Chain A
Amino acid sequence: MNSVWVTTFAIAMAAGTTLVFAAVGEVVAERAGVLNLGLEGMMLVGAVTGFMALDRTGSLELGVLAALAAGALLGLLHAFLTVSLRADQIVAGLALTIFGTGLSAYLGRDVVGKPARDSFDPLAIPLLHEIPWVGPVLFDQNLLVYTSYVLVAAVWIVLFRTRLGLHLRAVGESAGTADAMGVSVVGLRYGAVIVGGSLAGLAGAYLSLARTPGWSEGMTAGRGWIAVGLVIFARWNPLGALAGGFLFGLMEALNFQAQAVGITLSPFFLGMLPYLFTIAAIVFAALVGGRRLGAPAALGLPYRREER
């Protein structure tokens, strides 16, 4: 393997991280039984608020915090619509995406194309980054990429190795049973959707503060939707989301590296790769996993105690 491919894989890792954040958040929400199709809108709002906070204060940390908070707020709105009002989760999510797209454009009107005051730059981890091949790909990245590794591990542990995770998954599989066990369906669903929203906000901030520092309207370019597809591909498992994020990132990286690795396809067709790959991935998942694919059984269903 030569250095061109190492560079390509490193770009893939960096490009995939935004998908990892968004997809892990969506895994949490969907495991609790709430589908959130508002990811794209939440990511855009996260990207713009993160960048604006950086622009006002010069602090990257505040930028990240602002994005997390903005995402959480939109998550709260989605939870209110779908959990409390029991609105259709699909329509509510679409509404959120359309609203978020407009809101981000409105909020960011004065910072379009403004140069970033600061950005998360690569920070090689001593020793680890010297491991051949793996080192430069995994351990010569920015702080947020490392955060995503920790996040994936943490969410996996919480979901599959703690009581809280057990309860969360119970709520997503059979809300009535969980309720009978004394688990708060409403509380856990609210919590999961808010966590999912804040991670979507972070995914957006990763774009505007690290990957391509700056703000432009619609800069997520469908990555929120790719993340929704990625969750299916990952079979609702954060580890799968990390692997999938890398694969999807690779499709994007090939776009930058086309000449270097000797691909002569038109850039327009190369640009289609991530989207076509998403379709291929969920078709593959359906072929392998059958109709339900191991989706949480209560996904998309509102819970009414009176109808238990």
Chain B
Amino acid sequence: MRRLGPLVVEQRRVASRWTSALVRVAAIALALGLGALILEAGGYSARDSYRTMWDAAFANRDALAETLVAATPLIFTGLAVAVAARMLLWNIGAEGQLFLGAAAASWLAFSFPDAPRGLLLPAMVVAGAVGGAAWAAGPGVLRASLGVSEIVTTLMLNFVAILFVDYLVHGPWRDPESSGFPLSKPFTTSAILPSFGDTRLHAGFLIALGAAIVVWTLLRSTRFGYEVRVIGESQPAARYAGMPLRRNIVVVMLVSGGLAGIAGMSEVSGIVFRIQPDISAGFGYTGIIVATLGRFSAPGVVVAAILFGALQVGGYALQTTEVPPSIVQVLQGAILFITVGAEVLARYRVRWSPGREKRTPLAEKAP
């Protein structure tokens, strides 16, 4: 406890839900302020830039649809990071798992081009999940059995996965008709997710919302979710309660990788209709920010993903102006580290308490 004039600053163990939300809003505002400073310092108009970004993300129905399109992969990767983080595991390999999921789904699309849509699409979702989960399995097993840091292993595998997809696209899956820029063959219509009206918004968004609900229920009302939460709070407590720590580490990593893998399926099947090296704009890494900003809860992730989807769309819109779109990455990073710093401050409570309590002399107390 510390006293500053009439104010008393006290520490509390956990930040309250409301302060936490407030901190996040403040962090975003601060980051936008910092971004404005950087823009102005670079000789650009911050006002016009933000205006362009806002219009691109929210101005009309098409803009909103684009924002949700951009939010879709971020919901998956954000959930992937959040599920693992609930158990204090850091899966920063969502990017690679996304690529593997995309590759697995594409493999199905190329192998069964004439299968009925109603059969092929669900199978592709499963394939995406399996591909992503397989990519996260190694780091999970290594962490569980040898205590090898999953942070380093998952990250290293990102580069391996991207090179692997590069290889597929340059080699076995290369479209013989594409010249120069390497692309795979296009998908047949039965491998393409339906979209809403004339927008680019596709069914992947609904799958993402479904995944959020599944994760939410999983963590909230199943034995597995309970164990994950207990292990995340206190490993010794979980051990005394006889919860299988190692098995849960592996399972959580599989779930996490699977979610990121579906992001890959949703991108190739909903947006690009083929597989190519640039299917992800760093969605796996942005997922880390989305998860942190969403307090590692499923509803929080959805809200944060839509916000970051808007940022991303705003960034694309900047490409038509002179403003460098990389300002969006600066904003994303700034939002994350301001949140991280401010979250700690939110653990303090400021109370109004002027003066010390007066001690009443004993004599006056006596009747």
Contact = CB atoms under 8 A, between A and B. Distances in A.
A279 B171 CA distance: 26
A136 to B, nearest CB: 30
A226 B200 CA distance: 38
A88 interface: yes
Interface stretch (B62-70, B208-216, B222-230, B340-348): B340-348
A98 to B, nearest CB: 4
Contact of B343 (A87, A101, A271): A87
B153 A279 contact: yes
Interface in A81-103: 81, 85-88, 90-92, 94-96, 98-103
Interface string B78-102: 0000000000001010000000000
A39 B232 CA distance: 27
Interface in A254-287: 266, 268-269, 271-272, 275-276, 278-279, 282-283, 286-287
A91 B167 contact: no
B163 A271 contact: yes
Contacts of B147: 286, 291
A32 to B, nearest CB: 19
Contact of A96 (B289, B292, B332, B337): B337
B156 A229 contact: yes
A105 to B, nearest CB: 4
Interface SS of B by simple majority: helix
Nearest to A92: B340
Contact of A287 (B92, B146, B163): B146
13 contacts: A81-B341, A87-B343, A95-B336, A98-B332, A99-B336, A102-B327, A102-B331, A106-B326, A229-B156, A272-B160, A278-B156, A279-B142, A286-B148
A95 B167 contact: no
Interface in B314-359: 324, 326-334, 336-337, 340-341, 343-345
- Closest 10 CB pairs between A and B? A102-B329, A99-B333, A95-B337, A105-B326, A268-B167, A95-B336, A102-B330, A98-B333, A275-B156, A291-B147
Interface in B125-153: 142, 146-149, 151-153
Contacts of B328: 102
A195 interface: no
A229 B146 contact: no
A247 interface: no
A106 B315 CA distance: 12
Contacts of A109: 324, 326
Nearest to A102: B329
Interface residues of B, number: 45
Interface in A105-152: 105-106, 109
Given A106-B329, A221-B159, 9 more contacts: A37-B151, A80-B341, A87-B344, A95-B333, A102-B329, A103-B329, A106-B327, A232-B152, A272-B163
A1 B131 CA distance: 43
Interface residues of A, number: 46
B333 A102 contact: yes
Interface of A: 37, 41, 77, 80-81, 85-88, 90-92, 94-96, 98-103, 105-106, 109, 217, 221-222, 225-226, 228-229, 232, 266, 268-269, 271-272, 275-276, 278-279, 282-283, 286-287, 291
A229 B341 contact: no
Nearest to A269: B167
Given A85-B345, A106-B38, A225 B337 contact: no
Given A37-B151, A268-B163, A86 B156 contact: no
Contacts of A226: 156
A179 to B, nearest CB: 19
Contacts of A229: 152, 156
A109 B158 CA distance: 25
B143 to A, nearest CB: 10
A228 B152 contact: yes
Contacts of A275: 156-157, 159-160
Contacts, number: 132
B96 to A, nearest CB: 10
A279 B152 contact: yes
A225 B155 contact: yes
Nearest to A85: B344
B167 to A, nearest CB: 4
Contacts of A77: 337
B288 interface: yes
A276 B163 CA distance: 12
Nearest to A104: B326
A276 B160 contact: yes
A225 B164 CA distance: 19
Contact of A100 (B92, B324, B333): B333
B55 interface: no
A283 B146 CA distance: 8
A222 B159 contact: yes
B110 to A, nearest CB: 19
B164 A268 contact: yes
Contacts of B175: none
A52 B345 CA distance: 36
Nearest to B85: A91
Contacts of A106: 38, 42, 324, 326-327, 329-330
B174 interface: no
Contacts of A91: 292, 336, 340
A202 B42 CA distance: 25
A40 to B, nearest CB: 9
Nearest to B38: A106
Nearest to B331: A102
Nearest to A38: B337
B152 A225 contact: yes
B170 interface: yes
B54 interface: no
Contact of A88 (B157, B330, B340): B340
